[in-house]
Amino acid sequence: MKKLMIILAIFLTGSTVMAQSNTANLFGVSWEMAFPNGDFVSKPSYLGGRIEYRHFFSDKIATGLSLAWNNYDEYVDHKTYENADQTQAITTDMERFVFSMPITADFYYNFKTGNRFSPYIGLGLGAQYSSQEAYYNIYVSEDNNWGFVARPQIGTLISLQPTSPTRLILAAGYNYATNKNESFRIDNQQNFWISIGIGWKN
C-alpha cells in the first residue's frame, strides 16, 4: 500500500508540473506481446496491450503513466506433483492461466536524431495486479495478488509524416514484478515484451 501511495504521489506531482507546462503530450495504444520467464507458464502471450500517456518537458525528458496487460494460457499434460516430504502426490493435467496488469509511472530519456525516428530509453515503476488460475477436470485453484513492478524499456517513436501528429510506437522491454503465489510456487513474475502501437502527439 505504501508503494502505491508513493507511486500516486509521483504521479500527482508530475501532473501538477504537466499542467503548468506547455510542451508536448502523447497518448498511445499498443499491442504488447509477452514472453514469460518462469516455471508456471512458459508459452508467449499475444493477448496483451498497453495504453499510455507521456508528457514531454523538453525534447529529451518525458514522464508518463501507462497501463499494460497480458493473458497467458498454457495446457500442461498429465504430471505428478509431490509435496515437500513426499507424503502427498497428485496427478492431473491442467490448464494454467495468468493475467497480469502492470500500472506504472514512467520516465523517459529521448534521443534527438533530427529525422523521423525518436529513440528513447525508459523505466516504468509501479504496481502489478495479477491473477493465477489452474483448471483441472472440473476444479479450479486460483489466487490474485499485487506486487511491485519495474519495467525498463527501449523504443522509438516514428513520425509517419513530417507534419502529422501520428506516431508509430515500437518498444521492447523487461517486466519484473514481485507478485508471489505459494501454492503455485511463484516467487516473482518476469517476462520480456515487445510492442507495436500508435500514438498521437500534440
Partner 1 sequence: MKNPVFLLIAAVTGVLFSCKSSPDLGKLSTAFIVSTNRAKTANFSGYTTYHIPDTISFVSNDKDDDTLITGAPAQTIVNEIKKNMDARGYTFVARPAIPDLALRAVAIKQVNTGVAYPPGWWWGYPGYPGGCWYWGCYPPYYPIYPTVYQYTVGDFILETFDVKNAETNNNLQAIWLAQLSGVLSSTTTTNIERTVDGINQAYLQSPYFKK
Question: Which one of 6, 24, 44, 73 is in contact with partner 1 (CB under 8 A)?
Answer: 73
Residue number, 170 or 198, with CB nearest to partner 1: 198
Helix H or strand E segment including 13:
helix 2-20
Interaction between residue 93 and partner 1 (CB under 8 A)? yes
Interaction between residue 144 and partner 1 (CB under 8 A)? no
- Count the Cβ atoms, other than its own, within 10 Å of residue 35: 16
**Sheet arrangement for strand 139-159:** 61-82, 49-56, 25-36, 189-201, 166-177, 139-159, 117-136
40 with 196: CB under 8 angstroms?
no
Question: Which one of 34, 40, 66, 97 is in contact with partner 1 (CB under 8 A)?
Answer: 97
Report the DSSP pairing between strands 189-201 and 25-36: antiparallel
Q: Which of 44, 47, 54, 42 is nearest to 32 (CA)?
A: 47
Interaction between residue 115 and partner 1 (CB under 8 A)? no
Residue number, 63 or 130, with CB nearest to partner 1: 130
Scan for cell 503548468, then name that residue: 20
Residue number, 9 or 90, with CB nearest to partner 1: 90
Binding piece for partner 1, criterion CB under 8 A, among 17-25, 27-35, 53-61, 149-157: 27-35
Interaction between residue 42 and partner 1 (CB under 8 A)? no
Contacts of 121 (CB under 8 A, 6+ apart): 108, 109, 152, 153, 154
Binding piece for partner 1, criterion CB under 8 A, among 8-16, 58-66, 94-102, 181-189: 94-102
What is the contact surface with partner 1 in residues (CB under 8 A)? 27-29, 31, 47, 49, 51, 69, 71, 73, 75, 78, 80, 85, 87-97, 99, 101, 131, 133, 135-139, 165-166, 198, 200
